[in-house]
Structure 1
Amino acid sequence: MAIRARHQLGADAARVLLLNASTLTLEYTAARGFTTALQGFTVRLGEELSGRVALTRQPLSIPDLQHVLVSPPWREMLNKHQLMAYYAAPIIANGKVLGVLEVLHRQPFEPSSVWLELFELLISQAAIAVDNAGLFRALEHTTLELRFAYEETIEGWARALDLRDHETEGHSRRVTELTVRLCQHLGLPAEQLVDVRRGALLHDIGKMGVPDAILLKPDKLTPEEWNKMKQHPRFAVELLSSIKFLRPALDIPQYHHEK
Structure 2
Amino acid sequence: MYHPMVRIRSGEPSRAAQLASVTRVMGVKVIPGAARGYIGCALLAAGAAALPALRPAAGTPWGTVALLAALYALCELPARCRLLGRAAGGSVPIGSGSFFPVLLAAALLLPPAAAALTALPGSLLARVDEPPAAPRRAWRAAATALAVWAAATAAGALSCATALGHGPDAPDFPYALLPAGAAALTFCLVLTALDGGIRATVGGLPARAAWRGLLGRALAPHAVHGLAGLMMAVLWRSTYGPVSALFVLLPIYISCWVFAQYHRERAAHQATIRALVQAVDLKDRYTRGHSERVGHASVLIARELGMAEDRLDVVRFAGILHDVGKLGVPTRVLRKDGPLTPEERRVIELHPEYGHEIVRGIGFLGEARAAILHHHERMDGSGYPYGLHGEEIPEFARMVAVADAFDAMTSTRSYSRARPVPTAVAELERCAGSHFDPRMVAALVRALDRHGWQPAVTADETTPATPPSGNVPPPRDATTAPQTTGAPLPPRPRERA
Q: What TM bracket, shorter-length normalisation?
A: 0.5 to 0.7
- Quick check: 1:28–1:39 contact (8 Å CA) kept in 2? no
Code of the aligned partner of 1:28: L
1:207–1:235 contact (8 Å) kept in structure 2: yes
Cα pair 1:155 1:201 within 8 Å, conserved: no
CA distance in 1, matches of 2:278, 2:335: 16
Structure 2: distance between partners of 1:40 and 1:134: 22
Contact in 1 for aligned 2:356/2:372 (Cα 8 Å): yes
Residue identity matched to 1:170: G
Q: Does 1:184 align with 2:335?
A: no
Paired residue type of 2:271: E
- Residue matched to 2:105: 30
Shift of 1:156: 2.8
Match of 2:329 in 1: 210
For the aligned residue pairs, the C-alpha RMSD in angstroms reads: 4.1
* One of 116, 123, 131 as aligned partner of 1:41: 116
CA–CA separation in structure 1 for the residues paired with 2:252 and 2:372: 40
What is the SS of the residue equivalent to 1:119? coil
Aligned residue number for residue 235 of structure 1: 354
| 2:358 counterpart SS class | helix
How far apart, in 1, do the equivalents of 2:267 and 2:293 lie?
20
Match in the other structure for 1:156:
275
2:337 alignment partner, SS class: coil
Distance of 2:345 and 2:294 partners within structure 1: 22
Pair member with larger Rg: 1
Letter in 2 for 1:234: E
Instruction: Name the residue aligned to 1:19.
Output: 72
Provide the residue aligned with 2:252 in structure 1. Answer: 133
1:210 is displaced (CA, Å) by 0.7
Give the alignment partner of residue 119 of structure 1, picking from 229, 232, 240.
240
Q: Quick one: structure 1 residues 213 and 39, their matched pair in 2 at CA, closer, same or farther if it must change by over 3 Å?
A: farther
SS of residue matched to 2:104: strand
Q: Deviations over 1:201-237 (max 9, x none)?
A: 0000011111112122112111111111111111111
- Distance across 2 between alignment mates of 1:171 and 1:219: 21
- Give, as a single letter, the amino acid of the residue that structure 1 aligns with 2:254: L
Of the candidates 159, 175, 198, which is equivalent to residue 317 of structure 2?
Answer: 198
Moved more, 183-192 or 27-36: 27-36
Give the drift of 1:161.
0.7
Q: Following the alignment from structure 2 to structure 1, what is the Cα–Cα distance between the partners of residues 160 and 377?
A: 73
Residue 34 of structure 1: how far off its partner (Å): 7.2
Q: Assess if the C-alpha contact under 8 Å between 1:172 and 1:202 holds in 2.
A: yes
Q: Which moved more, 1:167-176 or 1:190-199?
A: 167-176
Distance 2:329 2:251 in 1: 51
Percentage of matched positions with identical amino acids: 28
Compare the two structures and name the one with the higher strand fraction.
1
- Unaligned runs of 5+ residues in structure 2 are 1-63, 81-98, 122-151, 168-231, 379-497
CA–CA separation in structure 2 for the residues paired with 1:82 and 1:175? 57
Report the Cα distance in structure 1 between the residues aligned to 2:362 and 2:160, rounded to whole angstroms.
61
> Contact 1:236–1:253 (CA<8 Å) still a contact in 2?
yes
Give the distance between the partners of 1:81 and 1:136, measured in 2 at CA.
27
What is the alpha-carbon distance in structure 2 between the residues aligned to residue 209 and residue 232 of structure 1? 7
Question: In 1, distance between residues paired with 2:117 and 2:367?
Answer: 46
The structure richer in helix per residue is: 2
Name the SS of the counterpart of 2:72 in structure 1: strand
Q: What code does the residue aligned with 2:103 have?
A: Y
Structure-1-length-normalised TM-score: 0.59
Distance 1:40 1:32 in 2: 5
- 1:219 aligned residue: 338
Is the Cα–Cα contact under 8 Å of residues 280 and 324 in structure 2 kept in the other structure? yes
The 1-side partners of 2:271 and 2:293 are apart by: 17
Following TM superposition, by how much is the alpha carbon of 1:129 offset from its aligned partner in structure 2, in angstroms? 3.2
Structure 2 length as normaliser, TM-score? 0.33
Q: Quickly say closer, same or farther: Cα 1:29–1:169, change in 2 above 3 A.
A: same
Q: SS at 2:326's partner residue?
A: helix
- 1:252 corresponds to which of 350, 354, 371: 371
- 1:135-166 per-residue CA deviation (whole Å, 9 max, x = no partner) reads 22022112112202311320232122122111
Q: Name the CA shift for 1:250/1:39 in 2 (closer, same or farther; >3 Å).
A: farther
Tell me the CA shift for residue 128 of structure 1.
3.4
Distance 1:192 1:211 in 2: 33
The Cα offsets for residues 29-66 of structure 1, whole Å up to 9 and x where unpaired, read as 33798797799634267xxxxxxxxxxxxxxxxxxxxx
Secondary structure, counterpart of 2:377 in structure 1: coil
Query: Structure 1 segments of 4 or more deviating over 2 A?
Result: 14-18, 20-45, 80-83, 99-103, 126-129
Spell out the pairing of 1:51-66 with structure 2 (5 A cutoff): none
CA distance in 1, matches of 2:332, 2:260: 45
Change (3 A) 1:42 1:218: same
